[in-house]
Chain A
Amino acid sequence: MKAAIEARIWRGGAEGRFETFSVPRRDSQTVLDVVTFVQRRLDPTLSYRYACRVGMCGSCAMTVNGRPRWTCRTHVSRLGEGPLTIEPLANLPRIKDLAVDMVPFFDKWAKAGGRFVPSADAGADFAAVEPASPARREADAGIECIGCAVCYAACDLVSWNPDYLGPAALNRAWTLVSDVRDGGQAERLAAVAGDAGCHACHSQQSCREHCPKSLNPTASIAGLKRAALRAALKGGA
């Protein structure tokens, strides 16, 4: 192992260039450690985003050697000896250096009907949701998403159509479609149908491939495709 890591880090916004830094190699060193070393010791003007450092918050996602990853959970030793290329997440506006604007990403959660809508008789009694019921299992499968946007950055459909809602927002919608207590299903299915929604997905599965939590947005979106087609054929709303 070489004693130093050659880190090529993106500087600038939509336009910019790579700047190369030499960072000492350490044991159990993560990519986030490398970025932090650069900012603390070599260039305090480097901008990046992180919070928890332990894979809970989902704010340190960046493009590492061409793949979207959580930098806090990516060990440098697993990436080989070559230069380390660190860029901001793809498919989102670059603000400065490694920080992207997450607003379009979260706007799409709202657009996809990502909010729970109480049904009309909410409060009448507690809803009994059997943990083993098929709908609850569907919701369970997708509910651990922490919104890091790794899937969004990995999705070709997002780069081909900026209006496409993306894997995370659609996955969120599917957990609510699978929630028997929710009263906003017709509006939600209308929001996710069509060529900027679930029906644009080609099951390339880059979302599933790169999700740090091993979630499966592809399967969630498949569920939405069927549900939205059923709703379209029935008409109404």
Chain B
Amino acid sequence: MNRPPPAFRHRNHPAWWAFAVHRISGLVLALFLPLHFWALGQAIAGEAALDGFLRWTANPLAKLAETGLVILLAAHLAGGLRILAIEFLPWSPRQKAAVAASAGFAVAAGLLFLFNVGAA
């Protein structure tokens, strides 16, 4: 006797994947917020403390993590605007285009960040 297998195939469409990205990015960003506020809070202890933290972020691993966060932030922003449009504007038949544009925006933001941070 077996339990039925979970079905996943019905989820394989752009709007569902956009939801998945929105959920994961939202979760990571929400958990990152306290860390971000803690880091900025170093300024309370003075310029030297903040500089100490900023020097630590210059290592490649931190830069990679920052790039990831920028992509997640941009993805959550674009995905959020897409959701607000669904909920508060007349229905648009171009849902797939909206998902694609959100993804493009997130990737572009990540690339721009990498380019700018790499130019240091």
Interface residues of A (CB under 8 A from B): 10, 12, 14-17, 63, 65-68, 87, 90, 94, 153-154, 156, 202-206, 208-210, 216, 218-219, 222, 225-226
Contact = CB atoms under 8 A, between A and B. Distances in A.
Closest 3 interchain pairs by CB? A66-B9, A205-B15, A219-B91
Nearest to B92: A219
A217 to B, nearest CB: 11
Contact of B10 (A14, A206, A219, A226): A206
B87 A154 contact: no
Q: How large is the interface on B (under 10, 10 to 19, 20 to 34, 35 or more residues)?
A: 20 to 34
A67 B13 CA distance: 12
B15 A204 contact: yes
Contact of B11 (A10, A153, A206): A206
A113 to B, nearest CB: 21
Contacts of A90: 7, 10
B13 A16 contact: no
A206 B2 contact: no
Interface of B: 1-4, 7-11, 13, 15-16, 19, 22-23, 83, 86-88, 91, 95
Contacts of B91: 216, 219, 222
A10 B4 contact: yes
Nearest to A91: B7
B79 to A, nearest CB: 10
Contacts of B23: 202
